[in-house]
Amino acid sequence: MHSLREVEQLLRLPRSTIRALVRSGIVAPQRGARGALQFSFQDLVVLRKAQALVAARVPPRHIARAMKELHRKAESGQYSLALEGDQEPRRLKPAPRKEPLEASINRGYALHEAGQLLAAEAEYGKALVAHGNDPLLLYNLGVLLEDLGRRKEALASYQSALDVDPGFADCHYNLALLCKGLGRPKEAIRHLAQYRKLTRRPK
């Protein structure tokens, strides 16, 4: 968990913006000792979206409104490439079992959620050496590399995951966002279309 001050320093968001998003219900932090706000990893993901709006010089009074609209459209399935380009990649995933590979993935996952990104990268690297390419391992590594700002390496990791499992829908989603951010719109559209195809509910 992260304090309000830590979130300010980590994301460089004004305290007034963070409190406005809390009041609007966009983020729902827990209360710690003496009522202090405590933010989870999920809260940080949402707040990073707000950070992008601040960086784009959106007026503070409009940020909460924009976040509400983004949340509403995402929940209702009203996706467009432009909308999804403003979103953070989908979250990393824990492995379901506790076999050697799955245990390594879960250790990396836990380190990532704790903010120990370089330690998580080292854990995933050891798992790749020991177990070879695994789609979930490569996917989580891709999410981590994006958080480290190494987008081209993240793209390669996601693509390697799809080479092993072409039906990994979340990986297509992340690649759609990443390709758009890297100025590769045709690839972004292709991956987004594949994501929608894989996640479309049968009528």
pLDDT 10s digits, 119-143: 999 999 988 988 888 999 999 999 9
- What phi, psi does 12 have (nearest 5°)? 55, 45
CATH number of the domain that residue 174 is part of:
1.25.40.10
| Residue 91 counted as domain residue | no
Residue 29 lies in a domain: yes
What is the pLDDT at residue 154? 92
Percent of the chain with pLDDT over 70: 68
Nearest partner of 171 among 189, 185, 155, judged by Cα: 155
Res. 74: pLDDT tops 90: no
Q: Looking at the structure, do residues 65 and 116 belong to the same domain, yes or no?
A: no
Question: Pairing state of beta strands 30-31 and 2-3?
Answer: unpaired
pLDDT at 170 over 60: yes
For residue range 3-52, what is the model confidence (pLDDT) as tens digits?
Answer: 878 877 777 777 777 777 777 677 777 887 777 888 776 677 667 766 66
Q: What span, in angstroms and rounded, lies between the C-alpha atoms of 13 and 54?
A: 8
> Residue 12 sits in a domain of what CATH number?
1.10.1660.10
Total domains, the chain: 2
- Quote the domain boundaries for residue 61: 2-78
Q: Is residue 83 part of a domain?
A: no
User: If residue 3 lies in a helix (H) or strand (E), which one and from where to where?
Assistant: strand 2-3
Q: For the chain, what's the residue count? A: 203
Reported confidence tier of residue 88, pLDDT bands at 50, 70, 90: very low
